[in-house]
Amino acid sequence: MKPSYIKAFEKGVLVKRIERAKRWLEKCSLCPRMCKVDRTKGEKGLCLIGAEAVVASYGPHFGEELPLVGRNGSGTIFFSGCNLMCSFCQNYDISHYSSGFKVSPVQLAEIMIELQKNGCHNINFVTPSHVIPQILEGLFYAIEKGLNIPLVYNSSGYDRVSSLKLLDGIVDIYMPDFKFWNKESSERWCKAPDYPDRVREALKEMYRQVGDLVIKNGIALKGLLVRHLVMPNCLDETRDILRFIASEISPHTYVNIMDQYRPCGEAYTDSLIDRRITQKEFLTALSYAKEIGLTRLDERRSYFVWSL
């Protein structure tokens, strides 16, 4: 299956999207934070990134979901800065302090090509919501240099539908998180009470664009894959999130229910989330998925399942 961005490039759609996306940086409204700063002049909003994307690291990654990793790994590019800024972030230095190196569109393209040459099965943009224009511009040069593997948009789910429309026919695989169901939780941990509404809208738009995950010979080619990190003391939210995915997106959604929460960043100061989850919490989350009818769960065996 040819990645969809090749057609968008050939038909001139990609160039138009780049122009439109870059204009949005002048009064930045790329994400629901709507900071309205002029990033083209180096001003920075909540995500801490100006005109140029900043890359924290890149390389073949083997810790992602099985259909992304295959034999040779997922070609991850970790962007610095973030538009959600969770207080418990496991990559706190990257997201909250934007550590990394600035990249021009051509340099970003060279990174993509290097990952492809290393045999990676896809280009996996990690935390991309605040650098969509920079990604699109880098993609243009990467296609000219021969890029032809699927693109993965790996976000927190805190995306605007209008920004996602810039990626329609360009991104092959969407991999959003769905973190919180309640606005009280997203206010408490991200200062984003609108997160639940935005992520519900975003998932619907992502699914409209790419549908259920298509896997061939064990490798994901196109579609939606949703991640949910089980948090301590939040199982009610887990159940509501899984129910939403099954009933309002698709019961065939590929879902990764993750057990690796550990307190990081400011989480040690919050008594609700200052511990890892228990085995009982994780197994309850899995049982909810089963009851609700979600059957395409990521097959990597959790520590909690192994230790039964």
Closest residue to bound ligand SF4 by CB: 45
Which CB atom, from 83 or from 87, has the smaller least distance to ligand SF4?
83
Find the binder of ligand SF4 among 130, 179, 227, 239 (CB under 6 A).
130
In the complex with ligand SF4, the residue whose CB is nearer, 34 or 305, is: 34
Q: How far is the CB of 67 from ligand SF4 (least distance, A)?
A: 29
Q: Which is nearer to ligand SF4, 31 or 69 (CB)?
A: 31
The binding track of 58-97 with respect to ligand SF4, each residue x by CB under 6 A or -, is -------------------------x--------------
Task: Give min distance, CB of 30 to ligand SF4, in A.
Answer: 4
Q: Check residue 34 for interaction with ligand SF4 (CB under 6 A).
A: yes
Binding positions for ligand SF4, 14-33, rule CB under 6 A: 28-31, 33
Residue 46 binds to ligand SF4 (criterion: CB under 6 A):
yes
Is the Cα dihedral 105, 111, 113, 115 positive or negative? negative
Residues that bind ligand SF4 (CB under 6 A): 28-31, 33-35, 37, 45-47, 83, 130
